[in-house]
Amino acid sequence: MRFLAEILLSGLAIGAIYGIIAIGFAVIYKTTGLVNFAQGEIAMIVAYIAWTISTTLSGNVFVVTGGALVAAVLLGLVIERVVMRPMLGEPVFSTVMVTIALAVILRSSINFIWDAYPQALNLGVGRDIVRVGAVGMRTGQIAVIVMLLALLAGFWLFFRYSRYGIAMRAVAGDDRTALLMGISTGRVHAVAWAASAAISGIAGIFFAITYDVSPAMYEIGLKSFPATILGGLDAVIGSGFGGLLIGVAENLAGGYLGSGTKEIAGFAMIIVILMVRPFGLFGQRDIERV
Amino acid sequence: MGRPAGTRRLVTAIGPALAPAAEPRAALMAPPSEPVLEFRNMRVVYDNAIEAVRDVSLAVPERGVVALLGSNGAGKSTLLKAMSGLLYTEEGVLENGSVLFRGEEVHRLSPDELVRRGIVQVPEGRRVFVALTVDENLQMGGFAKPQAAARRKLDQVFSLFPRLAERRGQIAGYMSGGEQQMLAIGRALMSEPVVLALDEPSLGLAPLVIDRIYEVIARLRDEFALTVLLVEQNAHRALGIADYGYILENGRIVLDGPAADLMGSEDVREFYLGVSKEGAKSLRDVKHYKRRKRWLS
């Protein structure tokens, strides 16, 4: 029983990280209709930037996260302006290929700029153990779950009530008509990329605090992708919960079926679920009037 | 209601059936009193190859309703895209000519800047945001305006379309075609347009619903003091409300004049209104007509 509880809780904690990155996927998909395969790489770069700030400037948790998030926003804006904007109007397939190329480039840049060894991001927080019932958890793991829930609530409100949030949905639905309404689609896309990069950065920093920064960190992006497929690519809230599901499923498989199955559990799960619900658990069907 | 002195033009435009026009068309296009919106000698080319519109000039006077008629593919929507700065989204380029708004060239402005200045269109096929609610659709219409102004405008739109007020929370994609058309018009009004262009507002709607839409257009002119550019295939409806009309064929304006004159013109009656003294025309006559028109323009 205690084993199960441990598996569930740590599954939720890693699942929350997947969920946060999955939100990043969904925000971009919802606004631009694209899947950004560089999401995990962005998380990794931001974590490395946080680590660099912590080792050179200051180890203060606020300075480090604040600085890294500003860098994440800038990174998102630069990617949108330099790489994605010229692809506007090109076929979706080509554009998604561009994000894959971007992913590979960002992944390799780690080795140029930093080095290939794992590093600990020590901000003096998040590594203490607290007891939840009979199970020990790191405070960072609890914080990331809380963070996921906060982001979910925030985004739900944003897309529902804020002008920019509604504009993002409008641009996703019909960008040309949005232009006719005086909505600058370029600006809306830029906001989506910046927000998505910042969200991924948050996940990256949490991952680095709880575990390490390493050049293999981009793999959390690969794990988060099934989360967003599972929840529905256009469903921000669904993607977040999809992350939790994938995290728990992975840990259950790893704990009970053997560690080899851990890597494939998430993908096995999306095969089954997409057969039943091709739009994902919370995804929206296209509206057709009957 | 500055009606352009177009009777003479109409006569010279139809006259050539008997005698060739003495003056070239461009010379006839001297604008009447300062129009709000003006197209001057516009030529639009898509993909560097396809000429969609050639040498089109058109003027919309303040608070007037001008009808732009023509069949499918005549270039009507191309003109509206040029007006709203959207040609680039379809690899189109305004190679020649200009769009003037209150005497100022505006064809190089961005789409959002054009909306902010008051040049707004209701696109063909309504194009409401199907996944958004009625309220959210309207809010998007007022996106370029400060929020307080948008809220004031919302009351006005709801008074014009009480039906939209009843269905505020409804997802727009599930509404009927007529309701969507009203939503599309309401959404455009949210941005406080000076010139409102409507692209085939009667398309695909039942006759009774079309009646309602045209009542609204009349109210937009009378109560909202809007200047309306009405793009239609439905010539009878459009000329019934317009002051002045232009007929576009194969990317050129082949005929223009006061709406009443166009209504009375033999050519228009036969080929756009489907009314003929001798009953149905044979294909041979149509060919003859086309040949004549080509020579004319």
Instruction: Convert the pLDDT of each residue in B122-164 to its tens digit.
Output: 998 889 999 899 999 999 998 888 888 888 899 999 999 999 9
In this prediction, residue B170 has a pLDDT band, given cuts at 50, 70 and 90, of very high
pLDDT > 90? residue A270: no
Q: Does A287 touch chain B (CB under 8 A)?
A: yes
Residue B25 pLDDT greater than 50, yes or no:
no
Kindly indicate the confidence band of residue B30, based on its pLDDT and cuts at 50, 70 and 90.
very low
What is the DSSP annotation of chain A? -HHHHHHHHHHHHHHHHHHHHHHHHHHHHHHHS---TTHHHHHHHHHHHHHHHHHHT---HHHHHHHHHHHHHHHHHHIIIIIIGGGTTS-HHHHHHHHHHHHHHHHHHHHHHS-SS-B----SSS--EEEETTEEEEHHHHHHHHHHHHHHHHHHHHHHH-HHHHHHHHHHH-HHHHHHTT--HHHHHHHHHHHHHHHHHHHHHHHHHHS-B-TTTTHHHHHHHHHHHHH-TT-HHHHHHHHHHHHHHHHHIIIII-GGGHHHHHHHHHHHHHHH-TT-SSPPPPP---
Greater model confidence, A285 or A173: A173
Percent of chain A with pLDDT over 90: 48
Mean pLDDT of all residues belonging to chain A: 89
Which is it for the CA torsion A96, A101, A104, A109, positive or negative?
A: negative
Phi, psi of A60 (to 5 degrees): -60, 130
Q: Do A173 and B129 touch (CB under 8 A)?
A: yes
Q: Do B123 and A177 touch (CB under 8 A)?
A: yes
Q: How many CB atoms lie within 10 A of CB A153?
A: 12
For residue B218, give the amino acid letter: A
Q: Is the pLDDT of residue B239 over 60?
A: yes
Gap from A193 CA to chain B (nearest CA, Å): 21
Best residue in B88, B110, B112 for a mutation probing chain A (most A CBs within 10 Å): B112
Size of interface A-B (CB pairs under 8 A): 78
Interface contact flag, A180 B115, Cβ < 8 Å? yes
Instruction: Mark yes or no for CB contact A179/B120 under 8 Å.
Output: no
Phi, psi of B149 (to 5 degrees): -65, -40
Return the closest-CA partner of residue A79 out of A114, A116, A113, A46.
A46
Does the beta-carbon distance from A170 to B140 stay under 8 Å?
Answer: yes
> Are the C-beta atoms of residues B66 and B229 closer than 8 Å to each other?
yes
Arithmetic mean of pLDDT, B256-264: 88
pLDDT tens-digit profile of A69-90?
999 999 999 999 999 988 877 8
Q: How confident is the model at residue B42 (pLDDT cuts 50, 70, 90)?
A: very high
Residues A132-185: pLDDT tens digits? 777 888 888 899 999 999 999 999 999 899 988 999 989 988 888 999 998 988
pLDDT for B136 = 94
Q: Is the pLDDT of residue A61 over 80?
A: yes
pTM above 0.95, yes or no: no
Spatial distance between the Cα atoms of A247 and A266, rounded to a whole number of angstroms = 8
More confident residue, B148 or B116: B116
pLDDT value of residue B297: 39
Query: According to the model, what pLDDT value does residue A13 have?
Result: 92
Task: Give the CB-side neighbour count of residue A143, counting CA atoms within 13 A.
Answer: 16
Q: Given a cut of 80, is residue B11 above it in pLDDT? A: no
pLDDT(B286) > 60? no
Domains of chain B (ranges, CATH numbers): 7-16+32-124+194-203+218-296 (3.40.50.300)
Which residues have C-beta within 8 Å of that of residue B45, sequence separation ≥ 6?
A: B51, B52, B92, B93, B95
| pLDDT(B88) > 80 | yes
Q: Is the pLDDT of residue A120 over 70?
A: yes
Nearest to B140 among A89, A167, A184 (CB): A167
The ipTM is 0.78
Q: What pLDDT is attached to residue B14?
A: 42
| Per-residue pLDDT at A3 | 86
| Chain A: residue whose CA lies nearest to B112 | A182
Q: What confidence tier does A286 reach under pLDDT thresholds 50, 70, 90?
A: low
Report the residue from B84, B136, B191 with minimal CB separation from A166. B136
Provide the shortest C-alpha distance from residue B257 to chain A (in Å).
29
- pLDDT given at position B20: 43
Mean pLDDT of B200-222: 92
Contact status of A183 with chain B (Cβ, < 8 Å): yes
Please check whether residue A77 is in contact with residue A198, taking contact to mean a CB–CB distance below 8 angstroms.
no
How close does chain A come to B296, measured CA to CA in Å? 35
Answer whether B144 sits within 8 Å of A166, measured CB to CB: no
In this complex, do B111 and A169 lie within 8 Å of one another by their Cβ atoms?
no
Q: What is the enclosing helix (H) or strand (E) of B184?
A: helix B177-189
C-alpha to C-alpha distance for B80 and B42, rounded to whole angstroms: 12
